[in-house]
Amino acid sequence: MILDADLTHDAFLGGLVHIWQPKKGYRAGTDPVMLAASVPAQSGQSVLELGCGAGTAALCLHTRVAGLRLVGVEVQSLYATLAARNAAGTSADMRVITSDLRDLPADLRQERFDHVIMNPPYFDRAKGDASADQGRDLALGGDTPLADWLGVGIRRVGPKGYLTVIQKIDRLPDVMAAIRGRLGSFVLRPIASTPTSAANLFLLRARQEGHAPMRICPPLIMHDGNRYTPEVEAILRNAAELSMDH
């Protein structure tokens, strides 16, 4: 059990949503907000987030698009408890399941969703050292291969549904290898810190039964000098959509 004194209650989307999360360990930043902003969800649809943490991405999506049915899966019981608490605090229709994504409950394995979203651990555990903080280590490295994350997610995408992923740019070949031949209509948007820096992250959307040619959008630039760019500012402060169409 964790006490409120060991948590922070942080504002996202300009204060439209607040998230309880640990002071120490993995803490959500801008990446889950960008993920949520890129999902083309519509009211009445269903969304599954694998590795939902404290619920930041799912609840930012709920704030932008009302009337969604959300399911979050999180292996760490502390974060799953916080996700459920945060969902209740935003009156979101969100069911949180504490489970290893490789061993989902039988009823969830029977469900398919309009959208599956994920922010898998960025670092390959086989190529780096573990963090001293278990929560941070699982969130950033974990012991579940990226291909397993994607395989589980793909199986939960319903007809004409979408999978949306945010990941480090050097993992793009791994992501494409896991998805190619199983989903289609790929849309890729790189993310770069500044106009002159190389992309360090990417957003990828793929569709069940999609047959459109792959599209690569211009990079999303996060900063212009010491400020967020207008596009990013609108996403972070006003719950604007992140376009994947240009």
- What are the tens digits of pLDDT across the range 77-124? 999 999 999 999 999 999 999 999 999 999 999 999 999 999 999 866
Note whether residue 246 is domain-resident: no
Q: What is the pLDDT of residue 123?
A: 67
> The pTM is what?
0.91
Cα–Cα distance for residue pair 244/203, rounded to 1 Å: 9
Cα–Cα distance for residue pair 61/59, rounded to 1 Å: 5
Q: Which two tokens stand for residue 97?
A: 């399941």
- What are the tens digits of pLDDT across the range 158-179? 999 999 999 999 999 999 999 9
Note whether residue 244 is domain-resident: no
Cα–Cα distance for residue pair 216/66, rounded to 1 Å: 29
Cα–Cα distance for residue pair 49/35, rounded to 1 Å: 11
Half-sphere exposure of 221 (CA within 13 A, CB side): 12
Note whether residue 68 is domain-resident: yes
Number of domains within the chain: 1
Note whether residue 101 is domain-resident: yes
Cα–Cα distance for residue pair 207/182, rounded to 1 Å: 9
Q: What is the pLDDT of residue 3?
A: 87
pLDDT category at 141 given cuts 50, 70, 90 is very low
- What are the tens digits of pLDDT across the range 28-37? 999 999 999 9
Q: What is the pLDDT of residue 125?
A: 41
Q: What is the pLDDT of residue 245?
A: 80
Cα–Cα distance for residue pair 98/72, rounded to 1 Å: 9
Q: What is the pLDDT of residue 85?
A: 98
Secondary structure (3-state) at 140 = helix
Q: Is the pLDDT of residue 134 over 70?
A: no
Helix (H) or strand (E) holding 72: strand 69-74
Cα–Cα distance for residue pair 48/39, rounded to 1 Å: 12
| Burial class of residue 34 in the structure, from the number of CB atoms within 10 Å of its CB (0-12 exposed, 13-18 middle, 19+ buried) | buried
Note whether residue 243 is domain-resident: no
For position 157, which CATH number holds? Answer: 3.40.50.150
Could you list the residue range(s) of the whole structural domain that residue 226 is in? Answer: 4-238
Note whether residue 192 is domain-resident: yes
Share of the chain above pLDDT 90, in %: 87
Alpha helices (H) in 13-133, listed in sequence order: 31-38, 56-64, 77-89, 106-109
